[in-house]
Every structure is written in C-alpha cells, then in structure tokens.
Structure 1
Amino acid sequence: MLARPQLAPPLDLLPDISGGTEREAVVGADVLTDWTTRFVTQFAVPTAQLVKLRSGRHDEEILVDAEIGSFAALHEEDSRRVVRQGGPDAFWDAVEDHLGRWHAAGTPTLEEAAVRVPPQGRSIHWRRAQKGVTHHG
C-alpha cells in the first residue's frame, strides 16, 4: 500500500517495467509525497506498492503490483511529466481519475471521508461534497 510503509517486492518478482505504453501524465509522481493524496490514490490502485528506481538517465517512481504484473513508471523529462504503464490494469489512468474526482469535490480532508468496505469492494465518499470517489475491487 502507498499510504503505509512496507517492504518493496523482491526485484525478481517485478514485471518488465521497460515496456508498456508511454504518454504525458496529467498528474506527476510529486502527488505521492502528500499523505492524504497517497491515501486517495490507494483507492485507485489498492494492491500497488511504490518503488523508486534509477532507470537510465532519470529517476523513476513506480507503482507496481508484482502479482498481477501491472505498473506505472513516472519521471520528468524536459519539464514534462511522463508515465509509462503496462500490465492488465492501467494504474496511472485509475490514479488520475480518482484524484480528478477528489479535486472536483474540493479536495476534502480525511476527516470528511467515509470509507465503506462491503463484500463487493471498497469505496470512499466525501461527506462535505456528497460526491463519492469509488473503487470496486
């Protein structure tokens, strides 16, 4: 999980992060430095872990799920935010979607969050805005 520290997955279990599809990111990895944003992000990619690696000519922050083989590797290049993602789930697409809805709700605080964990999946709703940022999984 991003919101709490834990050991990174063993390197031999990481998917091939050199592949995938690259695009300009709407949101950069810098959002992961804020605890509240990481908490919201975790609802988008609940099984992801954050790994930092030096890759070629730049540092990358990588969200990875070694079990399913999905990843999103982020870096800055010529003052552009770049994401390369691969595997069955487009991690960074999900993160940008969740963060976009949270921002549209006015970036409520965690005290305004209601987290529900029914059998069909977890969800987070913001009491102030009455808008939910939902993830089922």
Structure 2
Amino acid sequence: MKSKFLVFSLFLSFGLLASCSSDGGSGNPPADSRQVKYEVTATTGGSFNVIYFTATGSATPENFTAVPWTKEVTMQSNVQAVTFNASVANATPGQTITSKVYVGGVVKRQGTSTVQANGTAFVALQPYTFQN
C-alpha cells in the first residue's frame, strides 16, 4: 500500500511540477547544453522510486534498491524542461534522501528530505527550463 501511495504521489507531483515555469534566471548553462544527469543518494537503504525525463521528454518511472543511482540522458532539442522526483519506502527514520539534476555537468536543481517515522521520504524538484 505504501508503494502505491508513493508512486501516486510521484505522478501527482510530476503533474504539478510540469505545469510550473522557470524564470530562466542566471545560472543556466549555454543554450546548446542538453546533457542531463539525474542522481539519488541516501544515508539509508530501502525501496527507491524515481520519475525522470527521457531524451524525448517522456516521464519515466524506475525502481531500485541500491544507491547511489544515476541516469545520464542527452535531451532532444524539442524538450523544453526537465524535472525529477524521488522517494524511498522501508527506510530508517531520521536518515536522508537527496536528489539532484545536473545540466552540462553543473548542479541545477537539488533537494533533500528526511525519512519520516513511517519509513518514507519524498523529494520533488522544481523544473529546469532549457534556454532556447
């Protein structure tokens, strides 16, 4: 049941975040940088779930139990933005999970969450919008 709730939460958060826009502020890489790396680290073990964008801009879920976890993708030119959500279940309360999005080798989005008493934690990052 916890797993279904976490997956539902990830998809719900993805929908909310995908509708957000970026202000395109400073710190963006050159417009031609389309190399994205997603990363999850944690101070605990557990059942991890992520939702990340593929090269075509499709949201894709993945489950794993070993951290650190990374996925590198070269985004197609028609993809305007990426976001990344991560969660853990069956983890040690008080420990942490951290997720990051790198663009062009530079961290553009990151967040950390502490595992709650029920053994779960969730990190939802704000979307990163590519310069055109």
| TM-score, scaled to structure 2 | 0.27
Structure with a larger share of its residues in helix:
1
Higher relative CO (Cα under 8 Å, sequence separation at least 6) belongs to 2
